């Protein structure tokens, strides 16, 4: 028979109408509010829509007006099935776009024939003069709702901003306060483990102290990341900028990451960067960026994979990529860190640069810098992007998608401004 969509928040009413209309041979689809109703209607194109008016969020009038504007639904009658039975409620429903009006309580015996009439072509209308009056009233109601919503959203936004500032302040204070005792512990451990300090330690104790040293080292890195992220947010990241050769930064980053790659039987292959002009940057901060990217490449690539690092010159004004370094004012160097790993879904490719954002299950957190899929706290890429943006550069990712079997890989692009002295 017919496919009928019933938009109603009350479960008892939904069950009742479903039972009555299914007994009459119709198929009944359900939606609990206006937004769901619009989605289901667009997906299923029903033959008729029964619309409750008092529903949460977008009310039945607004949902009807929206539905009437969807071309695929222009022939679908929308019938208000509502407990709004005061004078003018019927006219208001018809003015909002309804093609009919059935007042509640539902008459079990009558409902199938009422629905059949509308399926058969019956349409109700309001006289034009009356419609104008209700239309004005309806527009006024809509503007009032819009005004309230905007005020509500503005308040919620201000509150979110306040919470965000509080959170940043908390992170900054916590990281500062925790760093000092951690540094003290690190210092004592170094003294204890230094053979020249003269402490008599047996092998077991040395092993325990080394374990502690590793844990403290990890804590130190987390604290530093948290501090970096608050500095980036607050625009207080201190950069010691100067002309530098990118090949030095890349080779130091590779040297630092090589042991982790070896643990995973991976290869890090880099182009010869000696032909590129000097870039303008902070060598320690850039080292941090490339260590983060290479380390992610190692963690999100299966054993035996490859991390490739190569460069090319690009024009600052956009997409002209040059295979040979021909330098002109405003050119940039682009370094690409490409892996043969699991890849990243297009939907996540921007989100991974957000603070504390992780694609995977947090239970995979790992203190190791090499464990397969063992994530950290989700700050590495936010910091890498923050550092490069403070340089006037950019970081972004390109990947076909995430696939643990096929491993399509990811390409992280980094653009770095050239040292102006070289471009003269």
Site string for ligand ADP, 173-212 (x = CB under 6 A): ----------------------------------------
Binding region for ligand ADP (CB under 6 A) out of 53-61, 118-126, 274-282, 335-343: 335-343
Query: Residue 241 CB, nearest distance to ligand ADP (Å)?
Result: 24
> Do 330 and 320 touch, CB atoms closer than 8 A?
no
Query: Residue 357 CB, nearest distance to ligand ADP (Å)?
Result: 6
Query: Residue 347 CB, nearest distance to ligand ADP (Å)?
Result: 12
Question: Which residues from 294-323 bind ligand ADP, rule CB under 6 A?
Answer: 296-297, 300
Query: Residue 244 CB, nearest distance to ligand ADP (Å)?
Result: 24
Our CB check for ligand ADP shows the closer of 82 and 415 to be 415
End-to-end CA distance of the chain: give it in Å, rounded: 79
Query: Residue 352 CB, nearest distance to ligand ADP (Å)?
Result: 4
How far out from the chain centre does Cα 206 lie?
Answer: 44
Query: Residue 270 CB, nearest distance to ligand ADP (Å)?
Result: 16
Binding region for ligand ADP (CB under 6 A) out of 158-166, 176-184, 340-348, 413-421: 340-348
Question: How far apart, in whole angstroms, are the C-alpha atoms of residue 394 and residue 289?
Answer: 11
Query: Residue 376 CB, nearest distance to ligand ADP (Å)?
Result: 3
Interacting residue with ligand ADP among 95, 230, 257, 410 (CB under 6 A)? 410
For the four alpha carbons of 204, 206, 210 and 216, in that order, the dihedral sign comes to positive
Binding region for ligand ADP (CB under 6 A) out of 21-29, 138-146, 156-164, 292-300: 292-300
Task: Report the DSSP pairing between strands 78-82 and 48-51.
Answer: parallel
Our CB check for ligand ADP shows the closer of 175 and 344 to be 344
Site string for ligand ADP, 357-386 (x = CB under 6 A): -xxx--------------xxxxxxxx----
Query: Residue 394 CB, nearest distance to ligand ADP (Å)?
Result: 16
Query: Residue 180 CB, nearest distance to ligand ADP (Å)?
Result: 24
CA diameter of the chain: 102
Query: Residue 344 CB, nearest distance to ligand ADP (Å)?
Result: 5
Our CB check for ligand ADP shows the closer of 32 and 402 to be 402
Size of the site for ligand ADP (CB under 6 A): 21
Binding region for ligand ADP (CB under 6 A) out of 2-10, 46-54, 80-88, 338-346: 338-346
Binding region for ligand ADP (CB under 6 A) out of 34-42, 125-133, 226-234, 334-342: 334-342
Query: Residue 311 CB, nearest distance to ligand ADP (Å)?
Result: 18
Q: Give the 3-state secondary structure of the chain.
A: CCEEEEECCCHHHHHHHHHHHHHCCCEEEEECCHHHHHHHHHHHCCCEEEECCCCCCCCHHHHHHHHHCCHHHCCCCEEEEECCCCCCHHHHHHHHCCCEEEECCCCCCCHHHHHHHHHCCCCCCCCHHHHHHHHHHHHHHHHHHHHHHHHHHHHHHHHHHHHHHHHHHHHHHHHHHHHHHHHHHHHHHHHHHCHHHCCCCCHHHHHHHHHHHHHHHHHHHHHHHHHHHHHHHHCCCCCCCEEECHHHHHHHHHHHHHHHHHHCCCEEEECCCCCCCCEEECHHHHHHHHHHHHHHHHHCCCCCCEEEEEEEEECCCCCCEECCCCCCCCCEEEEEEEECCCCCCHHHCCHHHCCCCCCCCHHHCCCCCCCCCCCCCCCHHHHHHHHHHHCCCEEEEECCCCCCCCCCCCEEEEEEEECHHHHC
Interacting residue with ligand ADP among 40, 50, 53, 342 (CB under 6 A)? 342
Question: How far apart, in whole angstroms, are the C-alpha atoms of residue 23 and residue 108?
Answer: 11
Binding region for ligand ADP (CB under 6 A) out of 55-63, 102-110, 355-363, 413-421: 355-363
Task: Report the DSSP pairing between strands 332-339 and 306-314.
Answer: antiparallel
Interacting residue with ligand ADP among 313, 352, 414, 419 (CB under 6 A)? 352
Binding region for ligand ADP (CB under 6 A) out of 208-216, 280-288, 353-361, 385-393: 353-361
Count CA atoms within 13 Å of residue 413 on its CB side. Answer: 16
Q: Rule CB under 6 A: say whether 388 interacts with ligand ADP.
A: no
Interacting residue with ligand ADP among 341, 386, 393, 417 (CB under 6 A)? 341
**Which positions touch ligand ADP (CB under 6 A)?**
292, 296-297, 300, 339, 341-342, 344, 352, 358-360, 375-382, 410
């Amino acid at each position: 028979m017919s496919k009928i969509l019933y938009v109603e928040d009350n479960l008892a009413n939904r069950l009742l109408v479903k039972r009555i209309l299914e007994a009459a041979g119709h198929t009944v689809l359900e939606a609990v509010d206006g937004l769901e109703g619009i989605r289901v209607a667009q997906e299923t194109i029903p033959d008729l829509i029964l619309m409750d008016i008092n529903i949460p969020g977008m009310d039945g009038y607004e949902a009807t007006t929206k539905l009437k504007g969807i071309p695929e639904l222009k022939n679908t009658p929308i019938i208000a099935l509502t407990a709004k039975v005061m004078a003018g409620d019927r006219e208001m429903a018809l003015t909002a776009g309804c093609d009919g009006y059935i007042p509640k309580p539902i008459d079990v015996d009558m409902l199938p024939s009422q629905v059949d009439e509308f399926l058969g072509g019956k349409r109700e209308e309001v006289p034009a003069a009356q419609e104008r009056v209700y239309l004005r009233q309806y527009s006024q109601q809509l503007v009032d709702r819009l005004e309230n919503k905007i005020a509500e959203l503005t308040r919620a936004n201000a509150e979110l901003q306040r919470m965000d500032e509080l959170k940043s302040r908390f992170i900054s204070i916590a990281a500062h306060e925790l760093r000092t005792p951690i540094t003290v512990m690190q210092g004592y451990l170094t003294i204890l483990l230094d053979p020249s300090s003269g402490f008599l330690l047996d092998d077991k104790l040395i092993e325990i102290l080394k374990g502690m040293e590793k844990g403290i080292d990890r804590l130190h890195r987390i604290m530093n990341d948290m501090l970096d992220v608050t500095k980036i947010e607050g625009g207080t990241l201190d950069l010691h900028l100067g002309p530098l050769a990118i090949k030095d930064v890349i080779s130091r980053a590779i040297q630092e990451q090589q042991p982790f790659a070896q643990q995973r039987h991976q290869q890090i292959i880099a182009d010869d960067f000696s032909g590129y002009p000097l870039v303008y940057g902070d060598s320690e901060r850039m080292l941090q960026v490339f260590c983060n990217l290479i380390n992610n490449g190692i963690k999100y690539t299966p054993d035996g994979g490859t991390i490739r690092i190569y460069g090319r010159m690009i024009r600052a004004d956009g997409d002209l990529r040059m295979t040979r370094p021909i330098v002109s004012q405003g050119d940039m160097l682009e370094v690409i860190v490409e892996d043969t790993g699991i890849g990243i879904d297009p939907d996540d490719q921007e989100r991974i640069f957000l603070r504390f954002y992780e694609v995977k299950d947090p239970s995979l957190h790992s203190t190791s810098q090499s464990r397969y899929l063992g994530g950290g706290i989700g700050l590495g890429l936010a910091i890498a992007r923050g550092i490069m943006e403070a340089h006037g550069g950019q970081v972004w990712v390109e990947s076909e998608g995430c696939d643990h079997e096929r491993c399509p890989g990811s390409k992280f692009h980094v653009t770095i401004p050239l040292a102006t002295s070289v471009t003269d």
